[in-house]
Structure 1
Amino acid sequence: MEVHRCRFVDYTPHTITSLAFSYPSTAKFAPNDLRLAVGRNNGDVEIWNPKNKWVHELTLYGAKEQSVEGLVWCSPEGESPRLFSIGGTTKLTEWDLKTGKVLLEYDCNAAIIWSLAKNESQDKIAVGCDDGTVVVVDISGGVGSIEHYAFLQRQDARVLSLCWKGDSHVIGGCADGKVKVWSCSPSSKRLVSSMKVDKSKTESTLVWSVLYLPNKDQIVSGDSTGSVKFWEFSSFTLLQSFKVHEADILTISTDLNNNCVFTAGVDRKIFRFQNIEQQKNQKWVNLSNRLFHSNDIRSMATFESKNLNLLISGGVEKNIVVSSIKSFADGQYRKLSIIPQRKHVVMNRERKLVVMWQDQTVKIWRLLQKIVEVDSDEEMINGHEADDGVEQLKESFELVAKLTLSDEENITQCAISQDGTILAVGRLSTTKLFQLNEKQGTNGLKVSKINNSSINALGSSHLEFYGNDQLIMVTPENEIYKVSLESDDIVEYSLTDLAKSKSKLSYCENVTHIAITHSKLIVCRSGALDVVELDNDLQLESMPFLRLSSYVVRISISQANKSVILITHENKIYEFDLQSSHLTSWSKANSEFLPREFLQLQESPLGMFNVGTRLWVYGSNWMSVFDMQMNVPMDKKETKKRSRAGVVIGHTEEDVESDEEPENENGDLEVSRAEIKNGKEGGIAYQLINKYKSILFAGNLTDDELIVVERPQFAIKQPPAFKLSQYRV
């Protein structure tokens, strides 16, 4: 196989601005609907499932020059979780989780909103504004209902942070270096206390974060001087002060029982404070700190239950960092990959085009003809030692088109026709078509808009071309259309009803994946797969294909085996015959006995594709290949437990590819051709490859050529980070 290894695609993830769990910590088991909302500074909100290897289930798309500066879930018992956000405007936004669209934007009739917080009963939200106003709104009317409740007593300083004490008081951190407390009872909306923090000698002190500890009846504040202060709420007096951070403290979080407090901010460190008993008095102690991040920490969120114990942090570095509350000081932590689990790259094989989209921009590169060939017997290739028996080929690439849309909405999906002449670009409210023609005398593409009223009127959450002249579209409302590009003819297909879901999350029955084979459209909703006959316009309702209890993270079609292949959240691979919907013989023999190293991979699969009878599966930092005509290797312990028809073939360490990195200072594309050593029966049944890092996309150009698009984290520009003090011992 030739592997085209590309690092020129300049996808850049966005800063994490806010984090919020859908439920508060509990002494019971975690709710099944527990989710983490992650706000980004491009206006997107990601919904992650913290169970099942951290699956990114949904993206709520923002728009140009928007940012999510605060998030809050309201999940009263027995009701569906509701998600609210703020983002540098005067409006409080409620999201429709079913469609991914904005459900309601409520103007608070004050200045720009800087902060928000919910009360204990989760029926009111307070927002803090630039002009010092604190507005309380009532959301008890249910989904889509936001009503004005009260303006709290006015003060002049910008309200940078907010929290509640139960339902009775609102606590704010302000830009005048004070922590202020308002009463929010039916009879009083007065400012009842104002507590000063330490002043900076060079600039005004900003109280960026406040948190109320109900089990201690205390307030914790973090400010721009790096001071953490604990206040007694009943007397509004200072209990303890710690000057541990070297810069602004931007976020504070706590555990279930309020015995631990975590603080973080610009200096990149997370500090842990522990409440201990000394001489019958409760005291806070600075117990430990960890350096997980390479840049500012903008937000933290904690969740604790019988089965989960999570401290989540994120910021300018763009990774979600997962660590533990209980073993914070010396436990392991994990950085979720910056590579999105949602597709951002597609490829056209015929014209060797690579298409990447992000926000409002689409970029198209072309892989050019080989320009340099180096003999395999040379000692050095591109500054690296040449592997024995490996021929290194170098190719070039060229950015042939860049399209920036005038609409403000972020792009949800792109698709390119099989002949590479038409590009479809989807947003939640509209879909646009563009003609891609060759520019005479250059490698460039001339992009021109195609007007198609039927397609322009439909928003897209999923797009696929059916041939070159028809487009399959799934709208945010889960409507499925087949639209002709020639005549504007449109056919709508209806999906069969699913059994009532136990989940209160409205998006759990949304279409998550689609795939086309010949005249069949495979539609995946969570663990349910349906088949739509695209050429039979008399059959406009989908037919149930199979129903699984597991969440399906990826699907693929094997043309060679005439089967549909899927991967569940447990990394289990199943293959079903397209005609009978029964498990294939390979799946019966192998699905429950996949290699342990594959099942235990932490990073969720990002994609998969078929080349002949081989199935390629890849995550952000790994690739694996299965030959679907051979049984996978068995562990020695398992060999005695089972007997399977067919040949079991393993591989030796010599078969695994080298970890050697290609030279990539200029983002050059490299091609390597290696001889795969055959197993005893002429092939390798399974192989795991760890050579490639930060894989954004992988696919096959031909049966003999693969393309791997990488986006290493070191290639992503970061703003300057705070320089920590260094002490020589």
Structure 2
Amino acid sequence: MVVDIHRCRFVDYQPHTITSLSFSHKSTKKFSSQDLRLAVARNNGDIEIWNPKNKWIHETTLYGGKDRSIEGLVWSTRENEEPRLFSIGGSTVITEWNLITGKPLKHFDCNAAIIWSISINESQDKIAVGCDDGTIVVVDISGGPGSIEHYAFLQRQESRILSVVWKNDDYIIGGCADGRIRVWNFGGDFQIHKYSLISTMRVDKSKTESTLVWSVLYLPIQNQIISGDSTGSIKIWDFTHFTLLQSFKVHAADILTLTTDFNNESIFSAGVDRKIFKLQLIDSNNNNSNSNKKQLKWNIVSNRLFHSNDVRSITSYESKNYNFLISGGVEKSIVVSSLKSFTDGQYRKISFIPQEEHVVMNKSQNLIILWQEQTIKIWKLLKRKIVEESDEEEDDQEDEEMKDVEDVEDKDDDFLIGNYKDSYELVSKLTLADEDNITSVAISQDGSKLAVGRLSTTKLFNLSNKPNSNKLKINKINHPELNSKGSKFLLFNDSSSLILSTPENEIFKISLDEEDEQSIIEYELSDLPKNKSKLTYIENINNLKLTSNNSKLIVSRISGAIDIIDLESSSSTNESIQSKPFLRLSSFINKLEITLQNTLIVLTQENKIYEFELNFDGLNSSAHLTNWSKINSEFLPKQFINQQEIAHGCFLDKTDNYKIWIYGSNWISFFQLNQNIPINNSKKDAKKRNRQGHQIGLNNEFDDMDYEFEESDVEEQDFENDGLNYQDRLIERADFIKELNNDENNGNNKDGIPFGITKKYKSILFANCLNNGELIIIERPSSLLPKTPAFKLNQIKV
């Protein structure tokens, strides 16, 4: 199969530095809590909440604002209380976040200098922050969500406190900017010296500048303090006598962050030199058969180079079913590795491409819109031209400079037709005066109106062409109803009405026609069954999708629930209109799509595809799988199922009513929804070529002229829902196909390829189908991102 691809790299999306990482729960010997989450802070003020289950899902974002970098995070997960998240960031304020709305729940001013560090105690009812003026402030959060009360000031000293950590609930340890580690008594044995300094330890001095103790860590099992400083040294201190036990000069530059495993037998350090070092506690008497006494000493056992730039934060989590070492920094990608197999195990670098789309497209005007922070950029695709072979070197040079929109590939690549080059033009750039980050953008089908959402307000703009120019003129439209409502998701129902979802999960249909008597209609989502999870935000909306005739709205939630709203229904009173529950899945619903056959495509976190019949007879019918989904949903090719990066988007093919395209950050695939996924259990024929598609193969080309098939392309799975094993399900599938084949009108087309996938495109920011059936793929390769100078490591040439 050959497809014409427009490959674009001019969309200049800028990912942001990771500044802090924090797991919601402590490591445990038991199985992890189903509410385990990872909070990822970035320097644009956003906090991302990730679910580590399966493929690492980005569930929700707490949006920040201009110049509001988050520099520290802590969770409080007390028993019988919903998880609470706190942050600091270049100010005197501690912020507690409302995880449902994404807005700050409480700002608490510590009445001290700028806060540099934050830590929570063992009981998780008090937070200590270290300030620029040398003060440690302790606040009480035991009153529940939204409660932050001043508790105590600890004895002040002159140097700013760069890092802080608790020893249980009794002592607070701080790493300072004067090269000292200080210990304060908070509730320990020294009651007469409560809130006072009880000890000071000094690290090595630098010859050229002050030594900064960037990170401190307390190991309760070993009763030791670990420090990492700007000289690249790790020092181990005995907490009982406050004496230095061991010292290691491991890093070539500043150590910014430390973490440990559950048993306190390993220490991991990282910082400016990009490397992550592992120190292991080892019995130094292993070779002395005459000694029965253990002498445990720390030793450097390994280091890994996962990052291309500074590592700003590192954290770990261990349980019976999880074993994570997470790191991030200036490189902007989250790196997931293993605590137990750190030395030689595999690691995963989660793409910096966001799982929520930041690009929208208007096909009628060929407009591509990028939104980020407070800025919106609009490009227009102009007419393309054929690129001669002699121009290929020129095109390669332009590609490096981000000056082309092209689909030039190798001559023998059957994925493309010919060589093309598109010209483009930045036709408008809009920077909002408000400081809040943009949450969503939508453009009307005719390209005349642009809606911009934030948590506090929604703005509406009119787009018009400037005379004798491709440039767009933008005029603000004053709409009182929109100005007063914040939004997380926006959709144009048509050019005269807008659908928005508020941070509180209210859904409104707002008329843009001033003469419309029913200018605003509110829709209320159905109640969900009681969930065991304490995370209240799992009932949040995460997808909105309109049916092809714009009469119905499909709404999915993080919990896996799907509702249907009849947009044509109206209420004679001001009461809201109730949605109808359609489906409840146990998996996170990643993306939705409506086909031209009036079916609903659901993509889940496991990269599973389900297709449901949409029967709107009174909106009361339950969800039913289509014949294609009954046959194929549990037998998808493993090269699709096993993609580490989950699907970021999906869209329909304009030239084929039954083809759907699905893409992740580094792959793009298609499924033919009128073709069954063939399965061949015979290993004798595993290596044969077959033009009829008896086996879906590992060939990454979309080429139906020469398709190689290999064995075991469909995963063997346990089907827990109905108790059938893999072989039983195969028999059931075969019987169902046979039954359908007896029906002359089953509509199954047996020609063509049912599935294809390629990984030729990297860092896919957005993909869609143009009006003429061609595909547009917008890439943002890491090589094109602005680079911050990284620490230069000595290279050993062999």
TM over 0.5: same fold?
yes
Which stretch of the first structure deviates more once superposed, 353-362 or 676-685?
A: 676-685
Q: Which residue of 2 aligns with 1:643?
A: none
**Following the alignment from structure 1 to structure 2, what is the Cα–Cα distance between the partners of residues 388 and 505?**
48
**Aligned counterpart, 1:314:** 328
Count of residue correspondences: 704
Amino acid aligned to 1:256: F
Q: Matches of residues 401-420 of structure 1 in structure 2 within 5 Å?
A: 401-420=428-447
- Name 1:668's counterpart in structure 2: none
Candidates 260, 276, 283, aligned match of 1:270:
276
Q: CA deviation at 1:727?
A: 3.7
Q: Which residue, out of 372, 394, 411, partners 1:386?
A: 411
SS in 2 for 1:636: coil
For the residue of structure 2 that corresponds to 1:592, the secondary structure is coil
In structure 2, the partner of 1:373 is: 386
Partners of 2:57 and 2:375 in 1: CA distance: 26
Deviation at 1:701, TM superposition (A): 1.5
Alignment identity in percent? 59
Instruction: State how far apart, in whole Å, the 2-side matches of 1:278 and 1:223 are.
Output: 26
Residue 600 of structure 2: aligned partner = 564
The equivalent residue for 1:524 is: 556
Instruction: Work out the CA distance in 2 between the residues paired with 1:23 and 1:599.
Output: 29
Determine the structure 2 residue equivalent to 1:666: none
Find the aligned partners of 1:422 and 1:602 in 2 and give their Cα distance: 37
Coordinate RMSD, CA, aligned: 2.0
1:56-105 per-residue CA deviation (whole Å, 9 max, x = no partner) reads: 00100000011000000011123211000000000000000011100001
Answering whether residue 295 of structure 2 is matched by residue 295 of structure 1, we say: no
Query: How far 1:633 moved relative to its partner?
Result: 2.9
> Which of 548, 560, 573 is the aligned partner of 2:585?
548
Q: Secondary structure at the match of 1:598?
A: helix
1:218 aligns with 2:224: yes
* Deviation of 1:377 (Å): 12
Partner residue in 1 for 2:486: 459
Q: What code does the residue aligned with 1:563 have?
A: T
Cross-structure match for 2:538: 508
Q: CA deviation at 1:374?
A: 3.8
1:2 Cα shift?
2.5
Whether the aligned pair in 2 keeps the contact of 1:376 and 1:391 (CA below 8 Å) is no
Q: Is the CA contact 1:655–1:676 (under 8 Å) kept in the aligned structure 2?
A: no
Query: Which residue in 1 is equivalent to 2:149?
Result: 147
Q: 1:533 aligns with which of 552, 562, 566?
A: 566
Q: 1:631–1:649: 8 Å Cα contact kept in structure 2?
A: no
Give the conservation status (yes or no) of the 8 Å contact 2:675–2:750. no
How big is each residue's C-alpha offset from its partner over 1:376-431, in whole Å with a ceiling of 9 and x where there is no partner?
A: 89998946653377311111111100000000000000000000111100000100
Q: Which has the higher strand share?
A: 1
Aligned-partner residue type, residue 124 of structure 2: Q
One-letter identity of the residue aligned with 1:438:
N
- The letter of the residue matching 1:593 is F
1:226 partner letter? G
3-state SS, counterpart of residue 39 of structure 2: strand
The 8 Å contact of residues 620 and 694 in structure 1, kept in 2 or not, is answered as: yes
- Report if aligned partners of 1:412, 1:426 keep a CA contact under 8 Å in 2: yes
2:365 partner amino acid: R
Aligned to 2:783, what secondary structure does the other structure show? helix
* Paired position in structure 1 for 2:206: 200
1:692 is matched with 761
Query: 1:552–1:638: structure 2 CA closer, same or farther, 3 Å change rule?
Result: farther
Partner of 2:466: 439
1:485 is the counterpart of 2:512: yes
Tell me, in whole angstroms, the C-alpha distance in 1 between the residues paired with 2:368 and 2:279: 49
Structure 1 residues 638 and 490 mapped into 2: Cα distance closer, same or farther (>3 Å)?
Answer: farther
After TM superposition, the score normalised by the length of structure 2 is 0.86
Distance 1:79 1:451, change over 3 A: same
Decide whether aligned partners of structure 1 residues 379 and 476 sit closer, same or farther in structure 2, where only a CA change above 3 A counts.
Answer: closer
1:276 to partner: Cα distance: 1.1
Indicate how the Cα distance of structure 1 residues 629 and 129 shifts in structure 2: closer, same or farther if over 3 A, else same. same
Report the more deviating stretch, 275-284 or 148-157: 275-284
Relative to structure 1, is the Cα distance of residues 128 and 638 closer, same or farther in structure 2, using a 3 angstrom cutoff? Answer: farther
1:715 CA displacement: 0.5
Q: Residue 586 of structure 1: SS of its match in structure 2?
A: helix
CA contact (8 A) 1:227 1:245 kept: yes
Structure 2 CA distance, aligned partners of 1:650 and 1:468?
46
Q: Give the one of 625, 629, 634 matched to 1:592.
A: 634
Following the alignment from structure 1 to structure 2, what is the Cα–Cα distance between the partners of residues 639 and 511? 49
Please tell me the residue identity of whatever aligns with 1:556: E
Out of 716, 719, 723, the residue aligned to residue 785 of structure 2 is 716
1:664 corresponds to:
none
CA distance in 1, matches of 2:530, 2:496: 37
Pick closer, same or farther for the CA change 1:421–1:26 going to 2, 3 Å: same
Cα displacement (A) at 1:486: 1.1
Secondary structure at the aligned position of 2:321 is classed as coil
Residue 450 in structure 1 maps to residue 461 in structure 2: no
Asked whether the equivalents of residues 595 and 633 of structure 1 are also in contact (C-alpha less than 8 Å), the reply is no
Q: Which runs of 5+ in 2 are unaligned?
A: 286-293, 397-408, 616-620, 686-691, 708-748
**Which residue in 2 is equivalent to 1:123?**
125
Alignment partner of 1:481: what SS?
Answer: strand
What is the rounded CA distance, in whole Å, between the counterparts of 2:681 and 2:4 in structure 1?
A: 33
Q: How does 1:542-691 map to 2 (within 5 A)?
A: 542-558=579-595, 560-579=596-615, 580=621, 581-611=623-653, 612-636=657-681, 656-657=701-702, 677=705, 681-691=750-760
Structure 2 CA distance for aligned equivalents of residues 638 and 106 of structure 1: 66
Q: In 1, distance between residues paired with 2:267 and 2:372?
A: 37
Q: Distance in 2 between matches of 1:202 and 1:678?
A: 66
Cα deviations by residue, 1:301-330 (Å, 9 ceiling, x for unpaired): 100001100000000000000000000000
- The answer as to whether partners of 2:119 and 2:129 remain within 8 angstroms in 1 is yes
Q: Deviations over 1:530-550 (max 9, x none)?
A: 110001114811011111122
Partner residue of 2:527? 497
1:652 positional shift: 6.8
C-alpha separation in 2, matches of 1:331 and 1:115? 32
1:28/1:727 Cα in 2 relative to 1: closer, same or farther (>3 Å)? same
- For residues 24-72 of structure 1, the C-alpha deviation after alignment (integer angstroms, 9 at most, x for no partner) is 1000011100000000000000000011200000100000011000000
Shift in CA distance, 217/533, structure 1 to aligned 2, threshold 3 Å:
same
CA contact (8 A) 1:379 1:385 kept: no
- Secondary structure of 1:20's match? strand
What TM-score results when the alignment is normalised by the length of structure 1?
A: 0.94
Aligned AA (2:626): T
Deviation of residue 649 (structure 1)?
5.5
Contact 2:15 2:352 in 1 (8 A): yes
Give the whole-Å Cα distance in 1 for the aligned partners of 2:128 and 2:438: 32
Distance change (3 Å), C-alpha of 1:654 and 1:111: closer
What's the offset of the Cα at 1:690? 1.2
Structure-2 separation of matches of 1:588 and 1:544:
21
**Whole-Å Cα distance in 1 between the matches of residues 684 and 372 of structure 2?**
48
Deviations 1:174-212 (A, max 9, x none): 001000000012841010000000000000000000000
Aligned partners of 1:654, 1:688: CA distance in 2, in Å? Answer: 8
Unaligned runs of 5+ in 1: 641-646, 658-674
In 2, distance between residues paired with 1:209 and 1:471? 49
Q: Extract structure 1 runs of 4+ deviating beyond 4 A.
A: 375-385, 637-640, 647-655, 675-681
Cα distance in structure 1, aligned partners of 2:106 and 2:54: 31
CA contact (8 A) 1:227 1:244 kept: yes
* 1:678–1:684 CA contact under 8 A, matched in 2: no
Distance 1:169 1:388, change over 3 A: closer
Distance across 1 between alignment mates of 2:644 and 2:505: 31
**Paired residues of 2:680 and 2:694 also in contact (CA < 8 A):** no
* Distance in 2 (alpha carbons) for counterparts of 1:379 and 1:446: 36
Q: CA distance change for structure 1 residues 494 and 65 in 2, over 3 Å: closer, same or farther?
A: same
